[in-house]
Amino acid sequence: MIDATLQTLGGKRFLRFLIAGAINSIFGFLVYTVAILLGGQVWLALLAGLVCGAVFNFFSTGAYVFRDLGLSRAPRFLVCYLLIYFLNLKLIDWLSLWITDPIIAQAILVGPMAIVSYVLMSRFVFFKRPAPQRE
């Protein structure tokens, strides 16, 4: 069961993504938490965590997870990061209807946002381009 699930998600690449993502998520969450505790607005705290983790995540995800550090992928990476940021911000806003603590709301969203991030990165940033066809 677990092997079939891992195979569907990309096997070892998905496991590498989980390791790199866990480190990046912890770092980003800590930056977010510190910003909130210092009195920052949720949008600014989330942006701070995102910006602080973006460079590290590009290199860790590109090199370690997808084995591709092509800087030509950076624009698509940044677009995906912006999509993730706005989705995360809207979900925190939605959760705030039931959960008043923004740190707890973000803690709940870390896992689901990691899955969204993996799908976006694997499909739109670090995908394998098909080899050119020869006739």
% of the chain at pLDDT higher than 90: 25
Whether 130 is covered by a domain: the verdict is: no
Report the distance separating Cα 28 and Cα 49, nearest Å: 4
Whether 32 is covered by a domain: the verdict is: yes
Count of domains observed in the chain: 1
Half-sphere exposure (CA, 13 Å, Cβ side) for 124? 15
Whether 57 is covered by a domain: the verdict is: yes
- Average pLDDT of the segment spanning 81-93: 92
Average pLDDT, the chain: 81
Domain of residue 20: give its range: 2-125
Q: Please give the structure tokens belonging to residue 85.
A: 């940021």
Query: Between 86 and 127, where is the model more confident?
Result: 86
Whether 102 is covered by a domain: the verdict is: yes
| Of the candidate ranges 52-61, 73-82, 86-95, 114-123, the one whose mean pLDDT is the lowest | 52-61
Question: Would the pLDDT of 13 be above 60?
Answer: yes
Q: Which range, 25-29, 70-74, 81-85, has the best average confidence (pLDDT)?
A: 81-85
Query: Between 71 and 33, where is the model more confident?
Result: 33
Whether 132 is covered by a domain: the verdict is: no
Question: Would the pLDDT of 39 be above 90?
Answer: yes
Q: What is the largest CA-CA distance in the chain?
A: 63
Q: Please give the structure tokens belonging to residue 22.
A: 């866990």
Whether 131 is covered by a domain: the verdict is: no
Whether 50 is covered by a domain: the verdict is: yes
Question: Would the pLDDT of 92 be above 70?
Answer: yes
Whether 68 is covered by a domain: the verdict is: yes
Torsion of Cα atoms, 14 then 17 then 21 then 23, to 10°: 120
